[in-house]
Structure 1
Amino acid sequence: MKLSFLSGLIRAAKARWFFLLEMPEGNRFEDKGAAGLKGRVIVKRGTGNTITIGSGTRFDGSIEILGTKNTVVIGDNCHFKGDIVVKDHGQTVTFGDHSTCKSVYILCQEGCSVRIGRWCMLSRDIEIRTTDAHSLIDRQTGKRLNTAASIAIGDHVWVGVGAIINKGSRIAADSVVGAMAFVNSAFDEEGVVIAGVPAKIVRRGVTWHRGRKKAFSSAEMDAWRG
């Protein structure tokens, strides 16, 4: 379904969910075959914005845009539950194929982008922010200290409950972020556990799996790479 303008209440009968879509003319919403849509998608201000929900995906939350030429993509076969707020121009938020989350708040602002890879698993009460939303200022120089920066989360990353992924963070593929961690820097080493406030590497040489049993084969541990 490709729409340049729609304002109203949509009933997605196949999922028995209610979905509110409000997009002024000049914006585009594309449903590539979502399994269910619940919540709302709204462009409060701006044109040239594109929002895409992938095939087989269940979306339960909100997307709110204030700005122009922004892109939000929820990939195929995802389960997304949370809220995305995009304020500014020319930014991108992506949530990769086969990824899931219980509840997440994503704030993308100040010309930055947020990339979440494929096969990720995000728990509940997680915040991902490209900006602090206010300025920390050096009193002597008058210069702002806490500039905004983009965020990149690699493929197959598990983020524990209550974690905060702050501006400028990078998390490499096949890693784990511990519960309540505060991530505010770049971690480019794969296969690690990152935990603490501020977060640091606490274990190396690991992977993770959604299943629970005593041991896993190499094929099982690397199935997500296919």
Structure 2
Amino acid sequence: MQIAHDFPDKLTALKARLEKLLSIDEQKVDERINSYEVYFLTKENVENLKTFGIDVEHYNDKNAIAICKDFKKVSLKVNFVSCIDSILIIDCDKYHGFVRFEANRSAAILSKTTHRNQISLTLRGSENLFSYGPDCSSNGIEAFVDGKNRKIDIGQDCMFAYGVQIRTSDSHAIFDTDTKTVMNVPKDISLGRHVWVGTAALILKGVDIGDGSIIAARSVVTKSIPSRCVAAGIPAKATRKNVSWTRQASPTEADIDFVLQSYFDETSQIS
């Protein structure tokens, strides 16, 4: 097995990329990297990753996968297609699905959780980031980070039903025929903490969704949604304010208090 420190130049470059993508200082990057086993994708390391349930089909040693040191086993197919200097970071063994990099100098972070997550993730372009927060769950999220210096940032304890799509771009340009100006450039997407997204919802470029909100099934979200709202429709609009949700179908008062104390304060009501 070839560990990261066998590639000191690549490791230094990797840390610099993470410092820029995550907007954190060098010390915090060092602390984070030191908590993982980092595998640059040599043939030997790709074979070793199969023992953890990570099947890498296209790769080169300029890309890397980092796993937590107590990692057990997942079921992930990972491709690095015609790209360099990108990294997938997996914090625990609760992820299943597919991750595809067509993006240079980019990162995807799958954070620690006790919940099962079924994901399909594609990064395309350059200097992009997918950050999936801790304690999230998914029955089937499809995320697409496209463009340059674009990101999807998902907060703590979000919950995704089947068939959810999140996209920073439309994949094809729409332009003004008089000015030749591209009208649908890629934009970032951000979901706050404790957001519930229903079956087959579509979240499009430039959207921010606030803490504790609920996106109804089959909604199409084209504009930002405040905290503590139910949003529904095509396009989605807030239909009810000052509401949130619990993972329990029949919550106790203690369950509700936990959500309120964890994610909201007394000033967060919407007038």
- Say which SS state the counterpart of residue 40 (structure 1) adopts: strand
Q: How far is the alpha carbon of 1:89 from its aligned partner?
A: 1.0
Matching of residue 83 in structure 1 with residue 120 in structure 2: yes
Return the TM-score normalized by structure 1.
0.90
Return the index of the structure with the highest Cα Rg: 2
Q: 1:225 to 1:35 in 2, by over 3 A?
A: farther
User: How many residues are matched?
Assistant: 219
Query: C-alpha offsets along residues 126-170 of structure 1, whole Å, 9 cap, x if unaligned?
Result: 110000001122222222211110100011000000000001111
Residue identity matched to 2:51: R
RMSD, aligned α-carbons: 1.9
Separation of aligned partners in 2, 1:153 and 1:63: 20
Structure 1 gaps, min length 5 = 13-17
Match of 2:107 in 1: 71
Q: 1:28 to 1:214 in 2, by over 3 A?
A: closer
User: 1:11-160 counterparts in 2 under 5 A?
Assistant: 11-12=51-52, 18-21=53-56, 22-32=58-68, 33-55=70-92, 57-77=93-113, 78-111=115-148, 112-160=150-198
Query: C-alpha offsets along residues 182-223 of structure 1, whole Å, 9 cap, x if unaligned?
Result: 001122x21111110000000001110010226534523336
Separation of aligned partners in 2, 1:214 and 1:153: 24
- Say which SS state the counterpart of residue 81 (structure 2) adopts: strand
User: 1:165-204 counterparts in 2 under 5 A?
Assistant: 165-187=203-225, 189-204=226-241
8 A contact 1:114–1:150 mirrored in 2: yes
- Say which SS state the counterpart of residue 47 (structure 1) adopts: coil
Q: How far is the alpha carbon of 1:47 from its aligned partner?
A: 1.7
Q: Which has the higher strand share?
A: 1
8 A contact 1:4–1:23 mirrored in 2: no
Match of 1:4 in 2: 40
- Say which SS state the counterpart of residue 88 (structure 1) adopts: strand
- Say which SS state the counterpart of residue 7 (structure 1) adopts: helix
Out of 73-82 and 88-97, give the one that drifted further: 73-82
8 A contact 1:73–1:95 mirrored in 2: yes
Q: Which has the higher helix share?
A: 2
Percent identity for Structure 1 against Structure 2: 20
8 A contact 2:103–2:128 mirrored in 1: no
Residue identity matched to 2:54: F
Structure 2 gaps, min length 5 = 1-36, 265-271
Residue identity matched to 2:128: Q
Separation of aligned partners in 1, 2:131 and 2:262: 18
